[in-house]
Amino acid sequence: MKYEILKTEIQEGIAIVTISRPEALNALNSKFFTEMNSLLEELDKNNEVKVIILTGEGKAFVAGADIAEMVNMNSEQGIKFSKIGQQTFNKIEDIDKPVIAAVNGFALGGGCELAMSTDFRIASNLAKFGQPEVNLGLIPGYAGTQRLARIVGLSNALYLLYTADMITADEALRMGLVQKVVEPDQLITEALAMAKKIASKGPNAVKKVKKVTRKGLLGDFYAGCELEAKEFGSLFGNEGTEGMTAFLEKRKPNWK
């Protein structure tokens, strides 16, 4: 597929995906979702890619769903547009490679929801976060009502959703919405360093950590523990045994 909004660069096993429609602050339109779905399938199949970084071009990460595209939608079209976004962001959650958001600027509405569908977020100190939907007489439609409270807790979520306040990267850090804040010119360097660190770990262990941690949060605690034990056991006799042997032999593991 020919990509017009998404630019991808792969270096040393890390795919850096840049959302590039800066004239509209990278607002999410139908074309974005078509491209993102196709790209996720490609990255999923590409064995060279171990970790994915998502970032935005210009002063925004993503300033929300495309208001110009949504303004004339009827209820049925609104539901459809919401579901397309939900399914795409679920794919980001489900892909069995870690995904990191490197939030360079505004992450508002659908942009904050996109960032929340990644595994964790690193932000430039210029980034701003918020769910401004109620300003437009709307509510989040890409699972923001569900993910925000799971990430920052109920009261922080409701505060952001009710007030539509834009918060700084440091406030987002305090709430746990981002995991690290850096100078703007360090954002990609730092995201790459984190991605490379993850890529150096046992690849199957990393995939299973994502699967088990995410599944556990969606289902019940005991089912999560069952899955954890099963996946834990599956690493013995191969990657786990190699990692433990390497530790005892004081050498680097040889991941397959």
Q: Which is nearer to ligand CO8, 43 or 81 (CB)?
A: 81
**Residue (114 or 122) nearer to ligand CO8, CB:** 114
Piece of 48-56, 132-140, 175-183, 202-210 that binds ligand CO8 (CB under 6 A): 132-140
Set 4, 48, 113, 171: catalytic member: 113
Is the sign of the CA dihedral 28, 56, 16, 20 positive or negative?
Answer: positive
Q: Does 25 bind ligand CO8 (CB under 6 A)?
A: yes
Q: Does 78 bind ligand CO8 (CB under 6 A)?
A: yes
Annotated active-site residue 113? The verdict is yes
Cβ proximity to ligand CO8: between 64 and 240 the closer is: 64
Give the nearest distance from C-beta 84 to ligand CO8 in angstroms. 8
* Secondary structure string (H, E, C) spanning the chain: CCCCCEEEEEECCEEEEEECCHHHCCCECHHHHHHHHHHHHHHHHCCCCCEEEEEECCCEEECCECHHHHCCCCHHHHHHHHHHHHHHHHHHHHCCCCEEEEECCEEECHHHHHHHHCCEEEEECCCEEECHHHHHCCCCCCCHHHHHHHHHCHHHHHHHHHHCCCEEHHHHHHHCCCCEEECHHHHHHHHHHHHHHHHCCCHHHHHHHHHHHHHHHHCCHHHHHHHHHHHHHHCCCCHHHHHHHHHHCCCCCCCC
CB nearer ligand CO8, residue 79 or residue 218:
79
- Residue 195 touches ligand CO8, criterion: CB under 6 A: no
The Cβ of residue 112 has, within 10 Å, a number of other Cβ atoms equal to 33
Q: Which residue has the tokens 């990644």?
A: 118
Comparing CB distances to ligand CO8, the nearer of 77 and 238 is 77
Q: Count the site residues for ligand CO8 by CB under 6 A.
A: 25
Count CB-CB contacts under 10 A for residue 116: 27
Q: Of the candidates 68, 154, 225, 229, which one interacts with ligand CO8 according to CB under 6 A? A: 68
Name which position in 108, 127, 192, 212 contacts ligand CO8 (CB under 6 A): 108
Contact letters for ligand CO8, residues 26-65 (x by CB under 6 A): -x-----------------------------------xxx
Residue 40 CB, nearest approach to ligand CO8 (Å): 19
Residues 135-174 that bind ligand CO8 (CB under 6 A): 136, 138, 140-142
Catalytic residue numbers, as ranges: 113, 133
Tell me which residues touch ligand CO8 (CB under 6 A).
24-25, 27, 63-68, 70, 78, 81-82, 85, 106, 108-110, 132-133, 136, 138, 140-142
